Structure 1
Amino acid sequence: MPDLSQLLLFAGLLIVAGGVAGLLAGVFGIGGGAVLVPVFYQVFGLYGVSPEVSMHLSVGTSVAVIVPTSLRSFAAHRAKGAVDHDLLRRWMVAVPLGAIAAAVVASHASSEALRGIFAAMALILALRMLFLSNRFHLGKDLPGEPGRSLTGFVIGLLSGLMGVGGGVFNNTFMTIYGRPIHQAVATSAGVGVLISIPALFGYIWAGWGNEGLPLLSTGYVNWVAVALIIPITLTIAPYGARLAHAMSKRQLEVGFALFLMFVSARFFWSLVG
């Protein structure tokens, strides 16, 4: 069992992570999960949580934090008038179904599998943003049905498996079909709402009764971490949204890509280390 100094250090790391996550939620239209998942994984490991469940707990706890963060970020972006409400209405069923499917998959997946998925998808998206952002386009507008709904389901599935708010995938989807990056970022905050709420209940169900979880956990959600981070992310997210609208398209893309590459490297290292 960690001593008091270790617990204070863990709390400090979580508080810092909450500030970074809130900023990223506003800047990139994400729920902050891409930074919270690796931090949670490290902190839970130091706390003595079994490696068999630490990744699942990290993803589930990240999803819980994303719920209020995405709501706050969505409200800030909607005030700017950049959200594609028509796309969100069309995804009201497909995206949540994907998020629920992710929780079902995670209940049977190993920790290594979840880390591998996280690392691989983050790297692919980063490379696309860095090298193909202005040269790789599939069309001038979003596809019709059933392709649009299928895409929403896949975004919900992959985001739920990674514990992210969907911005990493929706930003890519919208920009390769000619939508402005600022509209993609704003809409991604709404996608985060559609993903995080059903995924939260899914991860609670998936981890229900697991004996390897730390105190004050409900399924794969640890409420101590949630309580520490949510107030900070809610406070910081609107400042990130303001920063996003002050940046150029390329600045947003490069910053997002570099961040994803860092996260990918961290998880690949955990697999081989």
Structure 2
Amino acid sequence: MLSIILFIILSILGGLAAGWVAGLFGIGGGSISVPLFLITLPLLGAKGDLVMHQAIATSLIVIVPSAFSATRKQYKQRNINVKFLFSWLPWVVVGVVGASFFIIKVPAKTLEILFAAYLFLAAVYIFFKGNPKVPQDHVPKGMIKNIGAILVGVISTFLGIGGGTFTVPFLIACKYPLVKSIAISSATGLVIGLFGSICAAINGLGQPNLALFSIGYVNILAACLMAPFSMYTAQFGAKLSHEMNPNLLKILYSFFLLLVVLYMCWEVFGK
């Protein structure tokens, strides 16, 4: 009983923190939720190599409410090119579904190392990147678009993130405007969260040593506790981000990610 109470408290606090960080830095909460679930899910009985798989799967479903809210807002502001979106998303789904059935064969330590590497590269990228100015309105087409969408789906499913770290830079590299790239990224995160969590729930059915209140690899209790609180605090983080110096914001974001990298390294090599 005590472990469940502790789980509830940590999940609520984690949801508050994840939403605030997501709003402040303009990222998904996966950089907080995945490491947090590695700590909290064992409190509900999760054991062994499948804890990381559960953390990733649960992180994916937590993405859905905030991604839906962001997508609806972007659509109302007419930032979403619907024709391009409908040609982009099917390939994202291909990547998500393919990765979902492959990830169950990947050792937990490998996933943890990949997650730490992703955070480190994201920290370096954010620290050194400039403010992109893309006057063109070029719509990515053909094989390049399809391959990019598949890779976004695969990588995001492996890491338990919404894919914004990859979607936005890819579309900008294709000379797609920044504002429209962010809008496409929001819808992409919604699809990744939905299809990724559904596949994880199916793939995890009947697996041993899963946390209580789970459907397959997806922990419903954690998702229900984190999602509403993260959506609530995201608005305050976003408001603060507009009041801060952009260079200071980049430094803080990079430092935050490096702290999470250190924790993940301890998770992999220190235990």
TM-score, normalised on structure 2?
0.85
- In structure 1, the partner of 2:197 is 200
Give 5+ residue unaligned stretches, structure 2: none
- In structure 1, the partner of 2:269 is 272
Q: Does 1:44 align with 2:16?
A: no
Using the alignment, how far apart are the partners of 2:15 and 2:21 within structure 1?
10
Of the structure 1 ranges 166-175 and 27-36, higher mean CA displacement relative to structure 2 is found in 27-36
Q: CA separation of 1:239/1:181 partners in 2, compared to 1, >3 Å: closer, same or farther? A: farther
Q: Which amino acid aligns with 2:149?
A: G
Q: Does 1:134 align with 2:106?
A: no
Q: CA separation of 1:98/1:15 partners in 2, compared to 1, >3 Å: closer, same or farther? A: same
Q: Does 1:75 align with 2:72?
A: yes
Using the alignment, how far apart are the partners of 1:191 and 1:250 within structure 2?
27
- In structure 1, the partner of 2:50 is 53
RMSD of aligned Cα (Å): 3.0
Using the alignment, how far apart are the partners of 1:237 and 1:268 within structure 2?
27
Q: Which amino acid aligns with 1:172?
A: P
Alignment check: 8 A CA contact 1:136 1:176 kept: no
- In structure 1, the partner of 2:255 is 258
- In structure 1, the partner of 2:187 is 190
Q: Does 1:216 align with 2:206?
A: no
SS at match of 2:162: coil
Using the alignment, how far apart are the partners of 1:243 and 1:231 within structure 2?
20
The percent identity for this pair of structures is 29
Using the alignment, how far apart are the partners of 1:245 and 1:78 within structure 2?
22
Alpha-carbon distance, 1:29 to partner: 5.0
Of the structure 1 ranges 93-102 and 235-244, higher mean CA displacement relative to structure 2 is found in 235-244
Q: CA separation of 1:117/1:139 partners in 2, compared to 1, >3 Å: closer, same or farther? A: farther
Q: CA separation of 1:111/1:155 partners in 2, compared to 1, >3 Å: closer, same or farther? A: same
Q: CA separation of 1:98/1:255 partners in 2, compared to 1, >3 Å: closer, same or farther? A: farther
Q: Does 1:148 align with 2:145?
A: yes
Give 5+ residue unaligned stretches, structure 1: none
Alignment check: 8 A CA contact 2:11 2:222 kept: yes
Alignment check: 8 A CA contact 2:38 2:52 kept: yes
Using the alignment, how far apart are the partners of 1:163 and 1:243 within structure 2?
26
TM alignment of 1:14-163, pairs within 5 A: 14-83=11-80, 85-131=82-128, 133-134=129-130, 143-163=140-160
Alignment check: 8 A CA contact 1:64 1:226 kept: yes
Alignment check: 8 A CA contact 1:28 1:185 kept: no
Using the alignment, how far apart are the partners of 1:233 and 1:70 within structure 2?
11
SS at match of 2:37: helix
